[in-house]
Each structure stands twice: as C-alpha cells, then as structure tokens.
Amino acid sequence: MKRIGMLTSGGDCQALNAAMRGVVKTLLNSGEQIEIIGFLDGYRGLIYSKYRMLSGSDFSGILTVGGTILGTSRTPFKTIKDPDEDGLNKVEAMKSNYHKLGLDCLVVLGGNGTHKTANLLSKEGLNVVTLPKTIDNDLWGTDMTFGFQSAVDIATDCIDKIHTTASSHGRIFIVEVMGHKVGWLTLNAGLAGGADIILIPEIPYDLNKIIDAVNLRMKRGSHFTIIAVAEGAISVEDSKLSKKERLKKMEKSKFPSVSYELADQISQATGQEVRVTVPGHTQRGGSPCPYDRVFATRLGAEAGNLILKGEYGFMVGYKSREIVKVSLEDVAGKLKALDPEAGIIKEAKMVGVSFGD
Ligand code: F6P
C-alpha cells in the first residue's frame, strides 16, 4: 500500500492532467494498492493542509482536458522560508503535513520555481518525484517540457491568422509570444508561422537591424512583415543595464510591453502602420495537442515506475529522445536558455529570418 500526495504548482499549462493520469494509471495497473491525496492550488494545499482524497476514477477522462484538476498557484521560492502573515513556517508546515498524512511520496508537477521548492523538500527528507511542466521549455535537465508543444501550436496558429490579414492590408504585425526569460516558444512558433523577424531574449536586438530587415522586404516587393517578439525580448542597449535599472525603466515606460514600444519605434522609422497582437494566456489554455498527450503520459508513467521502485529525489525528463530521471539537485535553480549559436538559429538565419542582430 502506498499513499501518494500530488500537487501542481506555478503557471498552468496543457497536459498537467494527462501527466497525473499517467502516474496514477501506472500505479494502479501495477496492482499496487494506492491512496492518492491531491493537494489543492499548488504548495498552498500542502502548507495549509487543503486536499482531496482521490481515486482512480478522478483520473479517467482527463487525458484531453486542459488546466489542472487540482488547481494551481504561485508560491515563490524566494519567500518560501519566510513565515506567512500568521507567522507560520511554510517549510515546516509542508513537512509536518506530509508526515501527518503518512505519505510515502509527493509527486510535484511544475516549472523552475516549483523545482527549487521540490528540491528543498527532498533535501529536508521528503520522498519527492517531479514532472517538468511549462510552456516556456526553460527547465534544465530535460530537452522538452510538456505544455510547450501545445503552446507552439497556439502561437503558430495566431501567427498564421495574422499572416492573412497582414498580407491583405500590407501592414507590419508584431505577435508577442510568451516564454518568460527565454525564446524557445517564440523561435519555434515564429519559424512554424514563417515570421520574417524573430526577437528572443537570448539575442538582444538592434532596432536599426530590424528596420533594415523591414526595408529590405519592401525593396524585394513584400509589402507586409511579421515579427514574432518574445515577451522577454530586449534591446542591445537595455541588455547593458542592471536588473534594477531595467525595472526602473520599465516602470516609467508608457508601453505595456516590449512589443508596443517596438511598434512605436518601427512605425516612426518606417512611416508604416504597425499592429500588435498578444495571444497571452490563450497559449496556456485548452486541450493539450496530441504530442503533449503522448509525452506527458510517458513522463507520468516513468514517474509511477520510480515510485514503485522507491526511487526518489528525481525529475522525470527527456534527453536525446529517451525518458530519463534527473537528480532534483541538478535541475533546481538552473535556467535552460537557447544558445544563440544553436543549429536551429543558424538554419533560421540561412532561410532569411532576421533576429535583429
Ligand atoms: O511560465 C509560464 C508563463 O506563461 C510565462 O510564459 C509567462 O511569462 C508567465 O507564465 C505569466 O504568468 P502569469 O500567469 O502569472 O501571468
């Protein structure tokens, strides 16, 4: 008999339910007697003992369902060791609830911040197995996270739709893509959607190079331009500022995001109409794409397998087309950014994509 706690933490994404289903089905299918405790709204549920007893049937019919049946929230790692407003020690509360409930292990689904806390709990002696979720694909130790491919599909669909209207009107369009501090999502959706210019945080942009690329297209007879801009894209000048200086600049800016600032700058420089489209949280919403359903099921199955073998302190990841286990210690606190020298960027440049550099 195994008692398993489960939680989803951080921003949601597609295939969280598919991954949890993969874990539970694997455990049930092994013939092991299991009890599942689903903590509600991320680590908050574990801290404040908010949970539901779940059975196998709760995990039926959820393969294709977006969001998370457990709910989620952000519990920043930065303040995890600080007492809450009532003076409660959050880490001790999590440990105490884990032991009080007699858990054999805790399954945690999350991204970067979530993994830092998972690693902390593991070091504090809890049996933890994690699964890599995020549309940003920025988690160290895995080539891919689930949610990413679904978000690529949605952002690509947005660029596709913008393409037709941009072409009809002969306009410059900016599509702002999520991805936090990295450009995986923007690069992949940008390439899939045939964006002419792709701006990612890993390659700071020079406005003049962007204008040159737009003008070159016009000279060659293309009267519209599609620019895929990562929400974290940054100019060469801003990349030289300290984090504090950058935050100060952003606070003072009249633009809600980098895309609107760029639109203004490009419009002034070219005299052309520039429109901005922000698909925003739609990129995290809806049903997981088939790739993510399969991928999350595979990751979940391996997490179940690790639990059956009693192997803890690992994230289940994906390396060189294999499902692998990676020590939480190796994953926690590291960001997986794009290498500006990566083959995919070189190939994109070969086909004429400008990165504004
Ligand atoms: O980490 C996923 C993500 O969607 C990022 O791409 C984005 O920067 C952030 O979360 C948005 O966070 P929130 O949902 O809290 O607005």
pLDDT tens-digit map of 122-152:
999 999 999 999 999 999 999 999 999 999 9
DSSP letters, 124-138, are TT--EEEEEB-TT--
- The pLDDT tens digits for 300-347 are 999 999 999 999 999 999 999 999 999 999 999 999 999 999 999 999
Q: How confident is the model at residue 280 (pLDDT cuts 50, 70, 90)?
A: very high
Q: What is the largest CA-CA distance in the chain?
A: 71
Cβ of 135 closer than 6 Å to ligand 1, yes or no, is yes
Instruction: Report whether 261 contacts 231 (CB < 8 A).
Output: no
The alpha carbon of 18 and the centre of ligand 1 are apart by a number of angstroms equal to 20
Whether the domain at 2-147+288-331 and the domain at 149-284 fall into the same CATH topology: yes
- Ligand 1 pocket test, pick from 77, 135, 137, 283 with the greatest ligand atom count within 8 Å of Cβ, gives 135
pLDDT for residue 253 = 94
The alpha carbon of 312 and the centre of ligand 1 are apart by a number of angstroms equal to 28
Q: Say what percent of the chain tops pLDDT 70.
A: 100
pLDDT for residue 347 = 98
Q: Whose CA is nearest to atom 12 of ligand 1?
A: 11
Alpha helices in 257-325 (DSSP H): 258-270, 290-309
Domain ranges of the chain: 2-147+288-331, 149-284
How far apart are alpha carbons 276 and 151 in whole angstroms? Answer: 19
Instruction: State the closest ligand 1 atom to the C-alpha of 111, by its place in the atom list counted from 1.
Output: 1
pLDDT for residue 295 = 98
Read off the pLDDT of each residue in 201-205 and give the average, rounded to a whole number.
98
Instruction: Report whether 19 contacts 108 (CB < 8 A).
Output: no
CATH number of 149-284, picked from 3.40.50.1110, 3.40.50.150, 3.40.50.460, 3.40.50.970: 3.40.50.460
How far apart are alpha carbons 107 and 315 in whole angstroms? Answer: 10
Beta bridge partners of 110: 132
Q: Where are the beta strands (DSSP E) in the chain?
A: 2-8, 34-39, 51-54, 105-110, 128-132, 172-177, 197-199, 225-230, 274-277, 314-319, 322-327
Taking alpha carbons only, the member of 324, 298, 303 closest to residue 127 is 303
- The pLDDT tens digits for 219-244 are 999 999 999 999 999 999 999 999 99
Residues with active-site annotation: 136
Query: Quick one: the chain helix, strand, coil %, rounded to 5?
Result: 45, 20, 40
Instruction: State the closest ligand 1 atom to the C-alpha of 136, by its place in the atom list counted from 1.
Output: 6
Taking alpha carbons only, the member of 231, 229, 230, 232 closest to residue 172 is 229
Cβ of 179 closer than 6 Å to ligand 1, yes or no, is yes
How far apart are alpha carbons 44 and 32 in whole angstroms? Answer: 29
| 2-147+288-331: CATH topology | Rossmann fold (3.40.50)
How far apart are alpha carbons 279 and 158 in whole angstroms? Answer: 7
Q: Whose CA is nearest to atom 9 of ligand 1?
A: 180
For residue 41, give the 3-state DSSP assignment: coil
Torsion sign (Cα): 200, 206, 210, 212: negative
How many C-beta neighbours within 10 Å does residue 10 have? 23
**Mean of pLDDT over the chain:** 97
Instruction: Report whether 228 contacts 191 (CB < 8 A).
Output: no
Q: Whose CA is nearest to atom 2 of ligand 1?
A: 11
pLDDT for residue 21 = 98
Q: Whose CA is nearest to atom 6 of ligand 1?
A: 179
